[in-house]
Chain A
Amino acid sequence: MPREVAIIGVGYSGFRALTPEVSYKELMYEAAVKAYEDAGVDPRRDIESFVTVAEDFTEGTSIFDEYVPDQLGAVLKPVHTISGEGLHGFIAAYLQILTGAMDIVAVEAHSKASNILTPDEIMAFAMDPVYNRPLQVNPHFIAGLEMNRYLCETGTTREQCALVVAKNKHNALYNPLAAYGANIAIEDVLQSEIVSYPLSRLDMSPRADGAIVMVLAARERAEELSDIPIWIRGVGWCNDSFSLENRDWMNAIYAAKAGETAYRMAGIRTPWQELDFAEIDDTFSYKELQHMEALRLCRPGEAGMLTEDGATEIGGDFPVNPSGGSLGMGHLLDASGLARLLEVVLQLRGEAGQHQLPDVEAGLAFAWRGLPTTSGAAVILCN
C-alpha cells in the first residue's frame, strides 16, 4: 500500500485577464503565502521540497526555475521544475512523499499569459520543426482537425459543443475567482468567427493570469496540521504520439490511459457512479466532451447528449466543471490543471460558496497540456 498523502493547503492569486500591478514573482508570492497559511506551515522550517511548473517560452526566460525559490520560501532547499502540466508537477510532489524521504512538499504553477505578445507563434514553435512548421499554419488547425473528426465519429454537434461554453461561462458567474463568467447563448458561440473550422473563437478558452500553490503532506503530518485534509486516492498520467501524422484523432488516448491508471489506484471501477463530479480540461469546448468519454464518465458519443440533458450542470447528475472550467475561469497555461484541482479541493472542503455542490465526497481533476500535445494527467481526491 502506498503512503497516504493529503492536500493540506491551497493558495491562489490572479485569475484575471491582466495583472499589470504585480510581477510574476509577486503573483506567486501571494499564492504561496495563502497556501502556507492555509496549511499552517512555515516554508522555511517545514516544507522539505518544492516543485515548480514552467516552460521557458511561456515565461520568456531560459531555465525559469532560477527565478522561483525566493518568492516560494524555497531558498537553499530542494526545488526543481517539471516542464509539464500543473498536475504533472503535483504528481511529482506526490511521488516524492511516497518515497518516504519527504513528508511535506509544495507545488507551484502559474500563468502570466498576458505578458506573452505572440502566443500563437510560440505555440507554433512547439510543432515539429521539420514536418509541420514549414506548412506555416496557425497551430489551432490541429484542434480543428481533431474536433471535426470527433464530431463526425460520434455524431456530436457543434450546438452541443456550444452548450458546453454556455454552461461553463454560466457556472463562472457564481465563482468569484473566474474571469470570464457570462450569460451567452448557443447562437453566440456558433456565430463567433471561425478560427479553424469547426472551431470558433468562443469554442476556445480565453487566457488568464494566475498562480496556484498547494501543500501536500504524508498522513501523519497531514492529520497533525489540518482539520480538513483532502486525500489523494489516485493519480495517472500519459501521453500519446507527439507526431501529428501518427496520433489517434478520434480518441483521447492520453486521457483514457491516465484515467485508467488513476482509477485502478483508487479502486474505482465505474467512475460516473463512484465519483461525484469532475473538473476536466475544456481548453476547447469539444475537449470537455471528448475527455468525459475518454475518462469513462459516460459512454462513447454520449457526452454531448448528456450536456443537452443538463446532466453536467451544477444541479445535474454529474456536474462537470462547476468552477466554470477554463472557458469560464480563463486558461492558465500549464497552471490550468492545478486550477481544476483547486476547485475539487474547495468542493470537497465545502468551501466553494455559491457554486458549492451538495454532499460531494470524491472528485476527479483532469488536465491536458494543450496544443500541439497529447499529454494528460489525472488526480482523484476524496475528503
Chain B
Amino acid sequence: MTAKIKEFPGVGLRESDFTERKVLFTEWKPNAQYAWDAGIAIGRYLAELKEGRIIGVHCHRCRRTVVPPRIFCEWCFRPMDEWVYLEDHGVVNTFSICHVRWDMERLEEPLIPAVIEIAGASKGMGILHLLGEVDPKQVKIGMKVKAVWKPAAERIGAITDILYFKPVE
C-alpha cells in the first residue's frame, strides 16, 4: 500500500514558525504538586541516611539482601525478614559521563551518574547516585567508591544526604 501512496498526511513546522508567530498556539504551565508518603521501607531508609548509614533488607527464602529497602520480597512475594546495615562503600556497576541537562542545554562540568553496588548487599544490588572528586577519564566499571556524606547537621533524611561517591584510594 505504501508503495502506491504518493502523499502522506502530516504537516511539519519549523522552529521559526513558532518564534515568528506564523502559527497560532496556546501555552499552559501545569501546576502539579505532590507530597509522596515515603512509607515503612523508604521511610526507614531515609531516616538511616540522616544518621549517616545505608540500610537494606534481607529475605530468608531467596537469601538476598537488597537496597533500596522494601517491605516485600518481589521474587518470593512474602514479607522481608530483617533490616541489615550495609557499608557506605561499593563498586561501580556502570556509569555515564553526562554533558547535558534534561532540556539538552550543555553543562559546564559533566555529571557522572553511576549504579553503585553497595557492599554488604547481595551481588549486583546497586543504587543510583553520582560520582565526585574524580577525573571523568579515570572512571572505570568495577572501581571501588565510598560515600561522601553531608555534615550531620545538614542531613535531612534524603538520598542527597550522600553528596556523591568518590574513589577509594
User: Do the beta carbons of B28 and A129 come within 8 Å of each other?
Assistant: yes
CA distance A115 to B38 in the complex (A): 11
- The answer to the question of A70 belonging to the interface, with a C-beta cut-off of 8 Å to chain B, is yes
Within 8 A of B (CB), among A102-153: 112, 114-118, 121-122, 125, 129-130, 133-134
User: Do the beta carbons of B28 and A60 come within 8 Å of each other?
Assistant: no
Chain B residues within an 8 Å CB radius of A84: none
Asked, given contacts A29-B71, A129-B26, whether A42 binds B36 with beta carbons under 8 Å apart, the answer is no
One of A70, A121, A133 near B26 (C-beta < 8 A)? A133
User: Do the beta carbons of B75 and A118 come within 8 Å of each other?
Assistant: no
CA distance A70 to B70 in the complex (A): 9
Least CB distance from A35 to B in Å reads 12
Instruction: Give me the 4 closest cross-chain CB pairs, A-B, nearest first.
Output: A23-B39, A60-B34, A70-B74, A73-B77
Specify the chain B residue showing the minimal Cβ separation from A57: B32
User: Do the beta carbons of A26 and B34 come within 8 Å of each other?
Assistant: no
One of A22, A36, A42, A43 near B39 (C-beta < 8 A)? A22
CA distance A117 to B72 in the complex (A): 28
Chain B residues within an 8 Å CB radius of A130: 26
User: Do the beta carbons of B31 and A25 come within 8 Å of each other?
Assistant: no
Within 8 A of A (CB), among B67-88: 70-72, 74-77
Chain A residues within an 8 Å CB radius of B34: 60, 115-117
CA distance A73 to B74 in the complex (A): 6
Interface size class, chain B? 20 to 34
User: Do the beta carbons of B36 and A121 come within 8 Å of each other?
Assistant: no
One of A21, A22, A71 near B74 (C-beta < 8 A)? A71
Least CB distance from A307 to B in Å reads 37
Least CB distance from A135 to B in Å reads 11
Chain B residues within an 8 Å CB radius of A19: 37
- The answer to the question of B9 belonging to the interface, with a C-beta cut-off of 8 Å to chain A, is no
- 18 further A-B contacts with Cβ under 8 Å, apart from A57-B30, A121-B30, A125-B28, are A22-B37, A22-B39, A22-B40, A23-B40, A23-B42, A24-B36, A24-B37, A26-B71, A36-B77, A43-B77, A44-B75, A44-B77, A71-B74, A115-B37, A117-B34, A118-B32, A125-B32, A129-B28
User: Do the beta carbons of B32 and A71 come within 8 Å of each other?
Assistant: no
- The answer to the question of A271 belonging to the interface, with a C-beta cut-off of 8 Å to chain B, is no
- The answer to the question of A350 belonging to the interface, with a C-beta cut-off of 8 Å to chain B, is no
- The answer to the question of A184 belonging to the interface, with a C-beta cut-off of 8 Å to chain B, is no
- The answer to the question of B16 belonging to the interface, with a C-beta cut-off of 8 Å to chain A, is no
- The answer to the question of A75 belonging to the interface, with a C-beta cut-off of 8 Å to chain B, is yes
Specify the chain B residue showing the minimal Cβ separation from A117: B33
Asked, given contacts A44-B77, A129-B26, A134-B26, whether A26 binds B32 with beta carbons under 8 Å apart, the answer is no
Chain B residues within an 8 Å CB radius of A24: 36-37, 39
Chain B residues within an 8 Å CB radius of A118: 31-33
Within 8 A of B (CB), among A15-37: 19-26, 29, 36
**B-contact 0/1 string along A35-68, CB 8 Å cutoff:** 0100000111000000000000100100000000
One of B26, B28, B41, B76 near A44 (C-beta < 8 A)? B76
Chain B residues within an 8 Å CB radius of A44: 75-77
Least CB distance from A297 to B in Å reads 37
- The answer to the question of A319 belonging to the interface, with a C-beta cut-off of 8 Å to chain B, is no
Least CB distance from A213 to B in Å reads 13
**B-contact 0/1 string along A235-251, CB 8 Å cutoff:** 00000000000000000
Within 8 A of A (CB), among B17-66: 26, 28, 30-43
- The answer to the question of A69 belonging to the interface, with a C-beta cut-off of 8 Å to chain B, is yes
User: Do the beta carbons of A23 and B36 come within 8 Å of each other?
Assistant: yes
Chain B residues within an 8 Å CB radius of A42: 77
CA distance A42 to B33 in the complex (A): 37
Chain B residues within an 8 Å CB radius of A70: 70, 72, 74
User: Do the beta carbons of B35 and A23 come within 8 Å of each other?
Assistant: no
The 27 listed contacts between A and B (C-beta, < 8 Å) are A19-B37, A21-B40, A22-B39, A23-B37, A23-B42, A25-B39, A26-B39, A26-B71, A29-B72, A36-B77, A42-B77, A57-B30, A60-B32, A60-B36, A70-B74, A71-B72, A71-B74, A73-B74, A112-B36, A114-B37, A115-B35, A116-B33, A117-B33, A118-B33, A121-B30, A125-B30, A130-B26
